[in-house]
Each structure stands twice: as C-alpha cells, then as structure tokens.
Amino acid sequence: MFKTLFQYPRVLSRHADAPLAHKRKSFLKHLASRGTPRSTLLRYARQLRVIAGMLESRLPGSISKEEIVGFAQRWANGQRRRGRAKGRRWSKGHFVQVANAWCAFMGWLKQEKPPPPAFCARVDAWARFLSEEEGLSARTVANYRWWAAAFLGWIQEQEVPLRRVTLLGVDEFMERLSARGLSRVSLATGAKRLRRFFRYTYQRGWCRRDLEPGVLSPRLYRQETLPGSPAWPDVKRLIAASEGPGVCHLRNRAMLLLVAVYGLRSGEVRGLSLADLDWQRRILRVRRSKTARVQEYPLSQATGQALRRYLKEGRPECSRGEIFVTLQAPFRPLSAGALYAVTCSLMERLQIASPKRGPHALRHACASHLLNSGLPLKEVGDHLGHRHLGSTQIYAKVDLAGLRAVAAFDLGGVQ
C-alpha cells in the first residue's frame, strides 16, 4: 500500500519502517476499498505514522478516547512549538479523528457505554414482543420503544414505580411533552403508543390496573391529519425537472420515480440493494420499513430505464450493496435528509404548492392519484404496503378537485 502512495525511496522506507506498519497498511487498504481519494489517503498515512510512533507503547491493545485526546494534545503542542502550526486546534483535531478511526477499525478503541437505566429490561421485553409476536418492523418497534422509554424515564425521575403509576401521572407526562413543543398530532401518536404499552404492562403484571382505556389523547380537528401533497401534474413537472446529464441528476431522477410511481417511503428507497433488482423478470423487491415484509413490484418502463442508466453511468464503482450511495468518497448509504433535500429544492425551484415538501408528499400524491383514477381502496393499500384498510381510507377524505385534470391512469408514463 505504501508503494502506491509514496514514490521517493527515503519517504517510502520512513513509512514502511515505522511502528505497526502492517496495521497501518490494513487500515489504508480498507479506506482505499471504500473509494477514499488519494489525497486523503496520503494525509491519513502521514498522520498514522505519527500516531503509531506516539502510541506504540499502548498498541495493540485497548485504549480509551480520553487517552487519545491526551496524546493529541501533546502532538499539537509540539507542532506549535516547532513552528509547524499556528494553533493547536487543527493538529489536535486531525490526530483525534485519524486515531479514533484507526483504533476503532482495529478493535482497540474502548467502547465506554453508560450503565443502562433500571427500566431497560422492561423496554427490551416490550420491543421483543412487538417484533416477535406482533411482527412489526425494526423502525416501528423503535418508535414504540422510544415512547415507552421516555415515559419510564420520566417516572424514574419522579421516583414513582411503575406499579403505582396513575392516569394523573400519565396526563402530567403528556403535558410536559406539550410544553416542550410537540404538536397535537405527535401527542396523539404518543397516546396511542402508550395505550398499547399499558395494555402490555397490565398483562405482564407490572401495573396494578389497566390504564389503557383512560389515556387521553389531544383533540385533532377535522382535516388536521390529512396528508398534504402536490397535485399530480406538479409531480410530473418535478420528475421532468430532474432530467439532466450529470450523475447527480441520474441518481435523483431514479429516486424520485421510485417515490412517485411506487409510493415508497424515503427509508425504503435508501434501503434498496442491487440484489432487489431482478432484471430478467423485471421485478423490484421492496422491504417495507414499517412491516418488514418484502413486496414485489413490476418495473415500469420509465423507472427501469432511469435505474439502468444510473447504474451504468452515474453510480460510483464501490463495494457497497445499496443502489443509492453518496457521489463523493468514502462511498456510503444516503442519509435520511438526502432525499428530502432533493425533493424540497426541486419543489421550491418549480414553485410547487404543497403543504409538505419532502419525499413523503410524493407518496401522498401517488395515493391520491390512484384513488382519483378509480382504483379500489384495497388495491391502493396493497400498492402502498398498508397492513390495514384504515391507513388507506384517510386518502379518500382528501380533496381531489385539483387532480381532476389528470387524463389517464398511467404511472409508468411519468416523464
């Protein structure tokens, strides 16, 4: 690895003869396999030689982040004293960054976790029940888990055991969240999660009485929870505006088509892997984020062409299994905000009127368009991956007057 980075013999021998050379080379090879640019590899290699020299007495072996910071401070002080740096901040920060990454990769970094709270075992049992007995997805279980942990953490602060919790205490907890700025819709969701949790706690004997029926929910006004979405003609404009020759355009267009045509959630798009594309059968496999079920869709012509073009001309060559990855090395899956930024920026540039501007608005637009085209609720629910018809019925309440201009039902015709 050193031979590919350094050309001069003296420099090459300086790095090859420094301590822990084999360990440093393995880490640099790992970075190179992720598509890290040569300039970054050079910077890491130089810093690794310094780190190995300073930490030779501690490595290989377990080392804490606090110890690394101490060595970094010594290094930064020396750099400034020798006149190689004006300040200590950059030298110290880069030392800590590279040392933490290297030690974590080698398994040397101490993982100092705070002790779990006393109620952790109950939250874990609750999560296992939802996952194994109810069959909920990891994302949905995490949401239920958050509400249970938040409530149990609050009563622990109040020094109230779970067996002595009253409805008055539950109301105080909801009032506290309301004071922190949670909306009525979020509080209503929380009340629903807590009802289900209290039913479970009563069945397990953790509570002396069943609190589920008495948990109050904030009043939601009519139309308040209806999904906001752009009109379908505006969705077509947005898809058309994503066309372009750049690799960013190729990736964004493929993602937007998946959201608009199939009504996929942002996490479902970001979670798609290369193995989910069956080109021979022209099938797309999607793992639903809320139910963890795998659903198969026929690849429409427009979406298939967009995906094929992105994979051939736009996707970086890397070892990642996800379809959509970052365009800059080191290549990694897209963040939760990446698709939101793409959708929101296009809506603002095209001045598309919509109460919501994220990718979920396109999912709502897809559902509304399907219903407006005369498809039964059951078929629309199946298309969106809903488990219950009630989740789809909410779209039937949406005012579809703005969608009457859509002439024919042809999701695949989005251009």
Tens digit of each residue's pLDDT (9 = 90 or more) over 216-225: 887 765 554 5
Q: Is the domain of 276 the same as that of 371?
A: yes
CATH number at residue 242: 1.10.443.10
Q: Is the domain of 244 the same as that of 391?
A: yes
- Asked if residue 219 belongs to a domain, the reply is no
Please state the domain count of the chain. 3
Q: What is the pLDDT of residue 313?
A: 92
Among the candidates 159, 181, 214, a domain finishes at: 214
Q: Is the domain of 194 the same as that of 58?
A: no
Q: Which of 360, 364, 369, 383 does the annotation list as catalytic?
A: 360
Q: How many CB atoms neighbour CB 18 within 10 A?
A: 17
Q: Is the domain of 96 the same as that of 50?
A: yes
15 is catalytic: no
Record the tokens describing residue 16, joined without a space: 């090859």
In contact, 230 and 361? CB cutoff 8 Å: yes
287 is catalytic: no
- Asked if residue 114 belongs to a domain, the reply is no
Q: How many CB atoms neighbour CB 246 within 10 A?
A: 11
Among the candidates 51, 84, 106, a domain finishes at: 106
Q: What is the pLDDT of residue 98?
A: 93
Residue 190, domain extent: 120-214
Q: Is the domain of 254 the same as that of 388?
A: yes
- Long-range pairs for 22-28: beta carbons < 8 A, 24 or more residues apart: 23/52, 23/59, 23/60, 23/102, 23/106, 24/48, 24/49, 24/52, 24/102, 25/1, 26/106, 27/101, 27/102, 27/105, 27/106, 28/1
d(Cα 45, Cα 55) in Å, to the nearest integer?
A: 15
- Asked if residue 226 belongs to a domain, the reply is no
- Asked if residue 377 belongs to a domain, the reply is yes
* Of the candidates 375, 411, 409, the residue with the CA atom closest to the CA atom of residue 392: 375
386 is catalytic: yes
- Asked if residue 149 belongs to a domain, the reply is yes
- Asked if residue 113 belongs to a domain, the reply is no
Q: Is the domain of 277 the same as that of 389?
A: yes
395 is catalytic: yes
Q: Is the domain of 23 the same as that of 160?
A: no
CATH number at residue 145: 1.10.150
Q: Is the domain of 90 the same as that of 133?
A: no
Q: What is the pLDDT of residue 199?
A: 94
Q: Is the domain of 301 the same as that of 373?
A: yes
Q: Which of 92, 270, 290, 364 does the annotation list as catalytic?
A: 290
Q: What is the pLDDT of residue 44?
A: 93
Positions in the chain whose pLDDT score sits under 50: 224, 397-412
How many helices (H) and strands (E) would you count in the chain? Answer: 18, 3
144 is catalytic: no
Q: Is the domain of 202 the same as that of 253?
A: no
What residues contact 236, with CB distance under 8 A and at least 6 apart? 414, 415
- Asked if residue 111 belongs to a domain, the reply is no
Q: Which of 23, 24, 363, 383 does the annotation list as catalytic?
A: 363
DSSP secondary structure of 98-159 = HHHHHHHHHT-B---PPPPPTTHHHHHHHHHIIIIIS---HHHHHHHHHHHHHHHHHHHHTT
Q: How many residues does the chain have?
A: 415
Among the candidates 106, 141, 166, a domain finishes at: 106
In contact, 224 and 184? CB cutoff 8 Å: yes
Q: Is the domain of 301 the same as that of 337?
A: yes
Q: Is the domain of 96 the same as that of 129?
A: no
Q: Which of 94, 265, 357, 369 does the annotation list as catalytic?
A: 265
- Asked if residue 225 belongs to a domain, the reply is no
Q: What is the pLDDT of residue 134?
A: 87
363 is catalytic: yes
